[in-house]
Amino acid sequence: MAFVTLQNVTYKYPLTEKPVLQNINLQIQEGEFVSVIGPNGAGKSTLCYALAGFVPHFFKGEISGEIEVDGKLSSKSTLDTWVLNVGLAFQNPFNQISGAKYTVFEEIAFGLENIGVPRDEMKKRVEDAMSLTGISELADRSPYSLSGGQQQRVALTSILVMRPRLLVLDEPTSQMDPIGTREVFGVVRKMAEEGMTVVMVEHKVEWIAEFADRVIALKEGQILMEGKPNEVLTSDLLTENGFGVSRYTSTAREAKKQGLWKKQNLPVTLDEAVEGFKK
């Protein structure tokens, strides 16, 4: 049985006319790293809220269908218990900061403190998580003094330290440079290898192609396409629907028209492009 199942999920916010999610059917295996792409307003963040229990337990509105994680139904759970299994890093890391803590260390320890983890264990877990995401040197800084990219790392760390079974990340690298982005994808991949299930909303298709197991393309609240990263990210369907593609894909697509790209699959990453043009 899949670790995450969405069955016919349709959802409408209290004040909107049209459903923001429409008939979403989705299964995700334990330890799978799934990336969600889609234009602004496609419903990506709402899908994250649905997975994390905020829809419908916080945002209310009208929902139908079922959301199941680890054999438990969201409709039969409370947000308090749901969040013990599912961790969400919000699109805007600023929204994640508790406002109750003076240092990054305390901020990251906050969730563990709330569930009563003993002091020594807490310290070790926070230090390990900070070292994993490369922010050990920020321990004594104020969460509010950080750059956007640093805040995103802190937000990610404060979720990882809780060791959720399902990790949901909403554009976690949007304010990061390429080095930070690569590190985050690397950490996420590692978590997936260790059995954590990951859903990550992202726009950076080259990194998705390199690290994710599967891509889901969302448009107007519906799944337009899903499959292996290379397959989805180089598909004509995506281009026809106005999704952004990697520069290597568009270059090779042009080259193919002139007979200069001989491989079956178009590339997404630089490595794939170099490899293909060598042939």
Q: 106 in helix, strand or coil? A: helix
Whole-number Å distance between alpha carbons of 246 and 96: 30
Nearest CA-CA partner of 35 in 22, 43, 44 = 44
Report if residue 35 touches Mg ion, rule: CB under 5 A. Answer: no
| Residue 16, binding choice from Mg ion, ligand ADP, none, Cβ under 5 to 8 Å by partner class | ligand ADP
Compare residues 212 and 218 and give the one whose CB is closer to Mg ion. Answer: 218
Scanning 6-14, 38-46, 97-105, 221-229 for contacts with Mg ion by CB under 5 A, the matching segment is: 38-46
Amino acid at 179: I
Number of neighbours of residue 163 by Cβ within 10 angstroms: 15
Among left, alpha and beta (phi > 0; psi -120 to 50; other), residue 31 is left
* Binding-site string for Mg ion from residue 131 to residue 150, where x marks contact by CB under 5 A and - marks none: --------------------
Report if residue 46 touches Mg ion, rule: CB under 5 A. Answer: no
| Residue 40, binding choice from Mg ion, ligand ADP, none, Cβ under 5 to 8 Å by partner class | ligand ADP
Count of chain residues binding Mg ion (CB under 5 A): 3
Enumerate the β-bridge partners of residue 198.
33, 167
Geometric angle at alpha carbon 271, from 270 and 274, rounded to 5°: 85
Amino acid at 147: S
The distance of closest approach from Cβ of residue 56 to Mg ion in the complex, given in angstroms and rounded to an integer, is 18
Compare residues 45 and 133 and give the one whose CB is closer to Mg ion. Answer: 45
Q: Which residues bind ligand ADP (CB under 6 A)?
A: 13, 15-16, 20, 38, 40-46, 59
Report the sign of the C-alpha dihedral through residues 168, 215, 246, 279, in that order. positive
Compare residues 103 and 222 and give the one whose CB is closer to Mg ion. Answer: 222
Whole-number Å distance between alpha carbons of 80 and 78: 5
**Tokens standing for residue 181:** 């982005």
Compare residues 93 and 143 and give the one whose CB is closer to ligand ADP. Answer: 93
The distance of closest approach from Cβ of residue 164 to ligand ADP in the complex, given in angstroms and rounded to an integer, is 20
Compare residues 20 and 138 and give the one whose CB is closer to ligand ADP. Answer: 20
Binding Mg ion (rule: CB under 5 A), the pick from 45, 150, 197, 234 is 45
Report if residue 173 touches Mg ion, rule: CB under 5 A. Answer: no
Report the sign of the C-alpha dihedral through residues 53, 55, 59, 60, in that order. negative
**Which residues contact Mg ion (rule: CB under 5 A)?**
44-45, 91
